[in-house]
Structure 1
Amino acid sequence: MTEIKTAYVFPGQGAQFVGMGRDLYSEFHSARELFDLADKALGFSLSKLCFEGPEEDLRDTRNSQSAIVCHSLCALAAFIESGKSKLLPEPSFVAGHSLGEYSALGAGGILPYPQAILLARKRGELMAEAAVKTPGAMAAVLGLSEEILADICLKTGCYIANYNSPGQLVISGLKEAVEKASAQAAESGAMKVVPLQVSGGFHTPLMSPASAGLKTVLDSTGFDTARIPLVANTSASPLTNPQDIKSELVSQLTGGVQWQKSIENMIAAGVNTFVEIGPGKVLAGLIKRINRSVNIYNINDAASIQNFSV
């Protein structure tokens, strides 16, 4: 029988929904405790926003980022509290898609959970400010090769922001540049081009003001050496050193998310089981497209924990 080797992965922005975490809060002491700590640290009721909305406020990048990280870490805490996490070996790696890297900070023992949530809030605020200064746009491009899209981006002043899975890339930049690139991608044979509901050109140089602001915040934040290596978005390589991880978080705001390479590199290192922890099942879908032979589990609510089996 093949030995199980595990990685925990955490979703990014866009996974939020009204009602998220309510059942975890009512059924697991650890989740209730973390939501209460987050409310206290943030100075407002994030739990109420997650459970009751309104959706428009929850979607605001300043709120959604801390909400997703809080939900992800509450789901992880509940998974551990239930004893079900012991059905798998301790993860060999943690990774998060964009914002999900902040959930991975908590999971990897780099930051205490409440501090990871606070840092995600700060990131959201800085990104929102940068988007107001220089509004941008993003679009998912399906069914076009990286080479063709890179050439289109070069001609239109756009950037590839997310390398998600075979046939799924995301472009980002100034609104006009993204519109031009989207039209050219469609003309060049893309199966589909889907504009994303975001206010900024995330993972591009448009986020430079946010990147500078985040560096200042991180310089005064104490990180521990990772207990579980964090696979970095920008390099797809495992990191444990606190300074390297801080540099990654700063670079990630203006650089592309190498999600496909991150998953491929973990598989090459022997990982055959991925557990997506947090709202939604987006990463599970991407991982299936990258490699159909690995096992994928989702931990996103009380029922998924109660029904979890290997």
Structure 2
Amino acid sequence: MSPPPSNLKKVAFLFPGTGSQHIGMGAGLWAEYPEIRKNISLLESRLGYELKNYMFHGPDAALFPGLFSDIPTVFAETTAVLGLAIAKSLAEKTSFPDFAAGRSFGEFTASSFAGFFSPLDCINAIKKTIREGQKICVRNPSSLVTVYGPGKPGTAWLLKEMKKAGHSCELAIFYERLKVSVLGTERKSLDTLRKLLAKKGWRSSVSREPGAFHTSLFRDLSSDIPLFLEKAALSDPKIPVFLNCDAEKCSRKKALASKIALGVSKRVYWQETLENMLAAGVRVFVEIGPGIMLTEFICELPRDAVALKTDNAANFAGTLDFLKKNAKK
């Protein structure tokens, strides 16, 4: 598999992070596509244990860990395995994309697909990161809270008011077009945050996953990730990977390792990543795996750009057909 000629529409594969998982994900793809069955089974054989039954049947507790529990779960591994299997299947039947990126923990998967480290090393790193994150959250419970409607001025006001009230609260992700903010705060601060939201009439939802990842509450975890990668065979990626912490593309293994580590305790610049991809000439965004990453809603796409899905058999078929036609132009 080699990158497509430069006269074609540039393609980016986008990998989801936590929060995208759901019971039944991948079941239709498994039933319809032998290549996806092959690639999932290959990854499972390398891991030494099965994940597809968790994808297809749950239980719910395996995909959504208890908020402040350190009992091991498989929610991140299942999303990574499914994403890698889908991406590999597409690349085998069409051509390799020009760029890759992953939102939140999806950047581990994106980096593995790009050749930075093996799928086994990737999934082991994700697993260790999530496990250590759960332990941090048991010691100091925290959550990510999605707030709908504040925009930039409103978000700045919320952060200022939380600080005045003596609470730690940080911006983890911001979607300007949607006027959606994802804030990270300690669990003990949620009541204060809810009262401030009520004053403005803004809706909110608390993430089902534990921990205010992408905030300084997980700074110690950023220091641990290089240790998780010590035994991994790292390589320069075959294609540039856009990273969460600065929305810039990266093509060197040393910088990639450093930025992945930073990503767990720094704000996610996802909207900026999409905008920078557009500036780099990307016109085909392929959303890999479960869930919908709302590319076209987060970032205003030009008329010649398209966002494609792979979350079910019908969408995968349409995406595969589109990429085949693009590769022949």
SS in 2 for 1:170: strand
Partner of 1:75: 86
Distance 2:33 2:140 in 1: 42
Residue 19 (structure 1) aligned with residue 24 (structure 2): yes
- Correspondence 1:143-222 to 2 at 5 A: 143-154=149-160, 155=163, 156-166=167-177, 167-188=179-200, 190=202, 192-222=203-233
Partner of 2:69: none
Distance 1:40 1:289 in 2: 37
Residue 228 (structure 1) aligned with residue 239 (structure 2): yes
| 8 Å contact from structure 1 (residues 231, 239) kept in 2 | yes
User: Which runs of 5 or more structure 2 residues have no equivalent in the other structure?
Assistant: 1-6, 66-71, 323-329
SS in 1 for 2:13: strand
| 8 Å contact from structure 2 (residues 142, 211) kept in 1 | yes
The C-alpha deviation readout for 1:113-145, integer Å capped at 9, x for no partner, is 333222222222121121112111121112212
RMSD between aligned alpha carbons? 2.2
Q: Call closer, same or farther: CA 1:139–1:208 in 2, change over 3 Å.
A: same
Distance 1:129 1:287 in 2: 36
What percentage of residue pairs aligned between the two structures are identical? 25
Q: Call closer, same or farther: CA 1:117–1:24 in 2, change over 3 Å.
A: farther
Q: Call closer, same or farther: CA 1:3–1:182 in 2, change over 3 Å.
A: farther
Partner of 1:277: 288
Give the Å deviation of 1:106.
Answer: 2.3
Equivalent pairs, count:
301
Residue type at the aligned position of 1:101: E
Residue 267 (structure 1) aligned with residue 267 (structure 2): no
Partner of 1:32: 37
User: Which runs of 5 or more structure 1 residues have no equivalent in the other structure?
Assistant: none
| 8 Å contact from structure 2 (residues 47, 120) kept in 1 | no
| 8 Å contact from structure 2 (residues 61, 73) kept in 1 | no
Distance 1:93 1:183 in 2: 42
Give the Å deviation of 1:213.
Answer: 2.5
Runs of 4+ that moved beyond 6 A: none
Normalising by structure 2, what TM-score?
0.83
| 8 Å contact from structure 2 (residues 118, 233) kept in 1 | no
SS in 1 for 2:185: strand
Give the Å deviation of 1:168.
Answer: 1.4
Q: Call closer, same or farther: CA 1:115–1:302 in 2, change over 3 Å.
A: farther
Partner of 2:309: 298
Distance 2:180 2:20 in 1: 17
| 8 Å contact from structure 2 (residues 64, 209) kept in 1 | no
Partner of 2:99: 93
Residue type at the aligned position of 2:126: A
Distance 1:137 1:97 in 2: 18
Partner of 1:114: 120
- Range with greater deviation from structure 2 (64-73 or 17-26): 17-26
